Amino acid sequence: MMQDIERILIARGAISDRVRALAQEITHDITEKGEGAELVLVAVMTGSIIFVADLMRNLPMKVRIQLMTASSYVGKTTASTRDPFVGALPDVGGKHVLLVDDILDSGKTLTRVRDELETLEPKSIDTCVLLRKKIPSAMSVECTYVGFDIEDEFVVGYGLDYDDYYRNFPDIAVIVP
């Protein structure tokens, strides 16, 4: 696996520190909404699995998790190749929702999933991404919480993949496909 890694972009310690800081921000904001500190995390699978697991362990409140699938990447590619596919929607009506995804690049997936969730009439819906690329399509999409802004490079690790590999790599790294 290491032979395909060009360089470590974000080390596991920095990721851990940022996830804790995001959890503190989210906790503060949900508490400010009153009505009890309860939250439904909607995790966009599969890329967000590690991020959402670490994030929810750092949230000192009642948390429910709902999983959903959405994807715009197919096979061995480093670019979004289609309109996002969105699977079954979770029950979020009347609840505070935090939509969690791994990376914001084209903005298509996050926008489509958020639009679909809004039809279910949650009390509130916020978005959280681990990574946001510094490109116009990503920077123009409203996102409540962002872990890291990164350059437009293809990255893997900490849940992010290339052809379903490298999700288990503990750091975020630039890959040579």
For this structure, is 29 an active site residue? no
Q: Edge-to-edge, what's the strand order for the sheet holding 124-133?
A: 85-86, 62-71, 38-45, 96-104, 124-133, 145-150
Average pLDDT, the chain: 88
Q: How many CB atoms sit inside 10 A of residue 157's CB?
A: 25
Q: What is the pLDDT of residue 68?
A: 86
CA quadruple 6, 49, 58, 22: dihedral sign: positive
Q: What is the DSSP letter of 162?
A: B
Q: How far apart are the first and last CA of the chain?
A: 11
Fold of the 2-175 domain? Rossmann fold (3.40.50)
Q: What is the pLDDT of residue 80?
A: 53
Residue 104 has pLDDT above 60, yes or no: yes
Of residues 127, 106, 103, 130, the one with CA closest to residue 115? 127
Identify the H or E element spanning 17.
helix 12-32
Average pLDDT over residues 5-17: 97
Tens digit of each residue's pLDDT (9 = 90 or more) over 55-102: 999 999 989 999 887 665 545 555 555 455 556 667 788 889 999 999
Catalytic residue among 101, 102, 105, 171: 105
Q: What is the pLDDT of residue 82?
A: 46
Q: What is the pLDDT of residue 144?
A: 97
Average pLDDT over residues 17-42: 89
Task: Read off the pTM.
Answer: 0.87
Identify the H or E element spanning 118.
helix 108-118
Residue 165 has pLDDT above 50, yes or no: yes
- Radius of gyration for the alpha carbons in the chain, expressed in angstroms and rounded: 16
Average pLDDT over residues 119-143: 95
Angle between helices 12-32 and 49-57 (to 10 degrees): 60
